[in-house]
Amino acid sequence: MQHAQIPLLGFAAFSGTGKTTLLTQLIPLLKQQGLRIGLIKHGHHDFDIDQPGKDSFRLRAAGASPVLIISSKRRAMITEITPEREPTLDEQLQCFDQSQLDLLLVEGFKTEHFPKIELHRPSLNKRLLYPNDPHIIAIASDCPLVTPDYLPQLDINQPAMVANFILQQFMGRKP
What is the model's pLDDT at position 46?
A: 65
Cα dihedral 162, 87, 5, 105 in deg (nearest 10):
-20
pTM value is 0.88
Angle at 147 between CA 143 and CA 153, to 5 degrees: 50
For the chain, domains (ranges, CATH) are 1-42+87-175 (3.40.50.300), 46-86 (no CATH)
Judge whether residue 36 has pLDDT over 90: yes
- As a whole number, the mean pLDDT across the chain is 91
| pLDDT reading at 57 higher than 70 | yes
pLDDT in tens, 88-137: 899 889 888 899 999 999 998 989 999 999 999 999 999 999 999 999 99
Q: In b/e form, how buried is each residue of 8-46, taking b as 16+ CB within 10 angstroms?
A: bbbbbbbeebbbeebbebbbebbeeeebeebebeeeeee
